[in-house]
Amino acid sequence: MIFFSRAVAVLTTTAFLLASCGGGGGSSSTPTTPTTPAQNPVFAVPAQESLTSTDVQKILSQTVEEAAARNKPAVIAVVDRVGNVLAVFQMNGAPPTLSLRTTHRAVTPTDAEGLVVAGSPAANPLAAGAIAKAITGAYLSSSGNAFSTRTASFIVQEHFPAGANQLPGGPLFGVQFSQLPCSDFNQRYAAAGGAGAFTGPKRSPLGLAADPGGFPLYKNGVVVGGIGVMADGLYGYDPNIDDFDSDDDEFIATAGTVGFDAPEAIRANNIQAVVQLRYSDATVAGLRSAPASARAFSALNGTAGSLVSIPGYYAQGTTPTVLGGNAYGSEASGYRAATASERSSNNTIDNVDAFILTNGSGANRYPLRAGTDGARVSTPLTQAEVKGVLEEAFKIMSRTRAQIRKPLDSPAQVTISIVDTDGSILGVARSPDAPIFGTDVSVQKARTAAFFSGPNAATDLQGNPSADVQGFVSRTRTFFNDPAALTGKNAFAARSIGNIARPFFPDGETAQANGPLSRPFNQWSPFSTGLQTALIVGNIAEHLGFVLGASATDTPQRCTNNPDVAGKAQNRLQNGIQIFPGGVPIYRGSTLIGAVGVSGDGIDQDDMISFLGLFNGGQRVSSVAHAPTAIRADQLVVNVGAGVRLRYVNCPFAPFLDTSEQVVCDRK
């Protein structure tokens, strides 16, 4: 039997508030970076390592033995770096109920908060949590940083650091609702196989996880995948960072990483982001089994449990077998270096370091193109303008000091995306080792900035069949005391939308009420963030029904039930919205024509790359620019106390590796 009910849960996100400068003020005509294309590589390309089926069997054996030693039958998932599920192993007696809930305070069940998914031994919902954890470990990590689901928990809560304080929310507040199962950007598993069937990046059944028990997997210092474990049935997060937990899921997953563990130097606990991050509360010394003595997988499969197929993810319609992964950087993986001929054409950016997304058969999934919104925009973005902004943003990235990478003074690595006002993707470029999660998130940020800056935001939300979604329009208009809010009057960056999507406004001040795009705090959790979750909770429920066999129909490959753009079979938010910084709208004069989104490093770095990339791109092509200063969201003052001004972007001081410039975003 499969059913859904309510209880309580958590998962969150916010923004690193590093030393910064705003993006307001007057305009400047001087670019802050050279505009000549880079001729020499800046980035090292990761070696093409991959998990073999033998590797995966070893990982599973070690994990199963630890779970057995703890008497905690688990569901275990292993994925490659781009999210292909290589195995799902279900131990005999694994709990058949998955609960998404907050445990440390009372939260009124709303959206995914409090969702209880009950299945059966033949259709266990813990597989969804295990896959989400494995994908989180793989997607958040790179050759320069290793992040776990515990790291995710640390950076997605209502305060950063998490706990009882008056500090703003976590730097990646909202990232848990990326890689959504309804995303039109992430690929889907193809049960029938064929060309591109094993090409990433793949979606996740629950987005990204903040529940301990998910880690990246490495070979020779290169991230090759992730492991996720669900044994307790509770898919939550850790609200108390002042102690160290003894979490069975985390210990069991730790056993699986032995021999495939992340290099110590790049683990989250060695990375500073205002404060030192967390990687794991479990240690190898605390294991109850000896990974080196684990029995062969053949001795465990069919006795301790068995491989199970998961509709939409693994072995659907076939006998499950352990698979090997794709090597990131290969055509088959969906990510590879742009070729010289591609770079010399107008279909991708002209930079020797550029990586692109491919379809697994040699074709760029997102060749550069002009805007598709000519029916609504008098002069849409041209292909040359898209190319110019992407190239200039890429060069800013190449000069930027990374926030979350080791060794120190490494250049930032991110994904950069541009969309038009309809949300259509016009181009994507990324550095060789940017984290995978940033691909989907960069598109989310761009679409969010374009949507809320455009004339159709209120109309689209009011056209959603959910009265809950519709209600966010009136709440926003009341908040700004403006009956015409969300009709294109103001330009909102992704940071601006994040400002008003927090459970306290101003961010972190617990005596204050929530922003208009957030839930009130008694309804808020990382599973119930506000408009972000209201837009897609139906998609998640539909998808879980499909995964568990309750429905033969999966959720559509298009998030939200917002109305379609006129004349197109798409809406403007087809992979959801994102509520942490790194996206700005693009204007031609006073007319919105698109947006650029950036994701993969510290949020102020993401902000700066999008902001300066657009500014320098506009200087180069002389036809696109930032929003006029007078309409930017940082001109909006909300009457809370003495009055609170929204933010547009924050840029780090002295952010570049090649100059000593300090205030780099002022007056642009």
The DSSP code sequence of 414-469 is -EEEEE-TT--EEEEEE-TT--THHHHHHHHHHHHHHHHHSTTHHHHHHTSS-HHH
What local confidence, expressed as pLDDT, does residue 346 receive? 87
CA 231, CA 89: separation in Å to the nearest integer?
A: 12
What local confidence, expressed as pLDDT, does residue 457 receive? 98
What local confidence, expressed as pLDDT, does residue 150 receive? 98
* 442 in the same domain as 378: yes
CATH code of the domain in which 631 resides: 3.30.450.150
Does pLDDT of 9 surpass 60? no
Position 256 in a domain: yes
The H-or-E segment that residue 67 falls in is: helix 53-69
Q: Which of 271, 304, 326 is the last residue of a domain?
A: 326
CA 18, CA 26: separation in Å to the nearest integer?
A: 23
Position 341 in a domain: no
Contact 458, 608 (CB under 8 A): no
Contact 244, 286 (CB under 8 A): no
Position 135 in a domain: yes
CA atoms within 13 A on the CB side of 35: 16
CA 512, CA 518: separation in Å to the nearest integer?
A: 13
- Token pair for 386: 């898209």
* 418 in the same domain as 274: no
The mean pLDDT of 8-33, rounded to a whole number, is 36
Q: What is the pTM of this model?
A: 0.95
**If pLDDT is split at 50, 70 and 90, which confidence band does 394 have?**
very high
**If pLDDT is split at 50, 70 and 90, which confidence band does 250 have?**
very high
**If pLDDT is split at 50, 70 and 90, which confidence band does 1 have?**
very low
Q: Which of 326, 348, 378 is the last residue of a domain?
A: 326
The mean pLDDT of 532-555, rounded to a whole number, is 97
Total domains, the chain: 2
pLDDT one-digit tens code per residue, 119-134: 999 999 999 999 999 9
Contact 319, 302 (CB under 8 A): no
CA 90, CA 301: separation in Å to the nearest integer?
A: 9
What local confidence, expressed as pLDDT, does residue 164 receive? 87
Does pLDDT of 506 surpass 70? yes
* 421 in the same domain as 292: no
Position 343 in a domain: no
Strands in 498-590 per DSSP E: 583-588
Does pLDDT of 13 surpass 90? no
Q: Which of 128, 126, 4, 15 is nearest to 72 (CA)?
A: 126
The domain in which residue 74 lies consists of 53-93+124-326
What local confidence, expressed as pLDDT, does residue 39 receive? 65
* 180 in the same domain as 275: yes
What local confidence, expressed as pLDDT, does residue 102 receive? 97
What local confidence, expressed as pLDDT, does residue 8 receive? 27
SS (H, E, C) 247-283: CHHHHHHHHHHCCCCCCHHHEHHHCEECEECCCCCCC
Position 102 in a domain: no
CA 77, CA 51: separation in Å to the nearest integer?
A: 13
What local confidence, expressed as pLDDT, does residue 32 receive? 47
**Is the backbone of residue 163 left (phi > 0), alpha (psi -120 to 50) or beta?**
left
**If pLDDT is split at 50, 70 and 90, which confidence band does 20 have?**
very low
What local confidence, expressed as pLDDT, does residue 363 receive? 95
- For residues 174 and 37, which has the higher predicted lDDT (pLDDT)? 174
* 643 in the same domain as 498: yes
Q: For residue 449, which amino acid is it?
A: A
* 248 in the same domain as 386: no
**Is the backbone of residue 511 left (phi > 0), alpha (psi -120 to 50) or beta?**
alpha
Position 653 in a domain: yes
Strands in 284-329 per DSSP E: 305-307
Position 546 in a domain: no
Does pLDDT of 336 surpass 60? yes
* 380 in the same domain as 321: no
Q: Which of 615, 603, 616, 590 is nearest to 649 (CA)?
A: 603
CA 232, CA 73: separation in Å to the nearest integer?
A: 9
Does pLDDT of 476 surpass 50? yes
pLDDT one-digit tens code per residue, 610-626: 999 999 999 999 899 99
Cis-peptide into 556, omega within 30 deg: no
Q: Which of 294, 326, 358 is the last residue of a domain?
A: 326
Does pLDDT of 72 surpass 60? yes
The mean pLDDT of 363-387, rounded to a whole number, is 97
The mean pLDDT of 469-494, rounded to a whole number, is 98
Position 564 in a domain: no
- Token pair for 525: 């959790």
Buried b / exposed e over 444-482, threshold 16 CB at 10 Å, is: bbbbbbbbbbbebbbebbbebebeebeebbebbbebbee
Which residues, in sequence order, are bridge partners of residue 586? 594
Mean pLDDT of the chain: 93
* 623 in the same domain as 525: yes
Q: Angle 593-598-599 (CA atoms, 0-180°, nearest 5)?
A: 150
CA 536, CA 206: separation in Å to the nearest integer?
A: 11
* 289 in the same domain as 162: yes
Does pLDDT of 10 surpass 60? no
CA 502, CA 662: separation in Å to the nearest integer?
A: 29
What local confidence, expressed as pLDDT, does residue 27 receive? 36
* 499 in the same domain as 638: yes
**If pLDDT is split at 50, 70 and 90, which confidence band does 667 have?**
confident
**If pLDDT is split at 50, 70 and 90, which confidence band does 185 have?**
very high
* 612 in the same domain as 503: yes
State the residue for tokens 């495939």. Answer: 260
Give the percent of the chain with pLDDT over 70. 94
* 283 in the same domain as 166: yes
- Token pair for 528: 């119930």
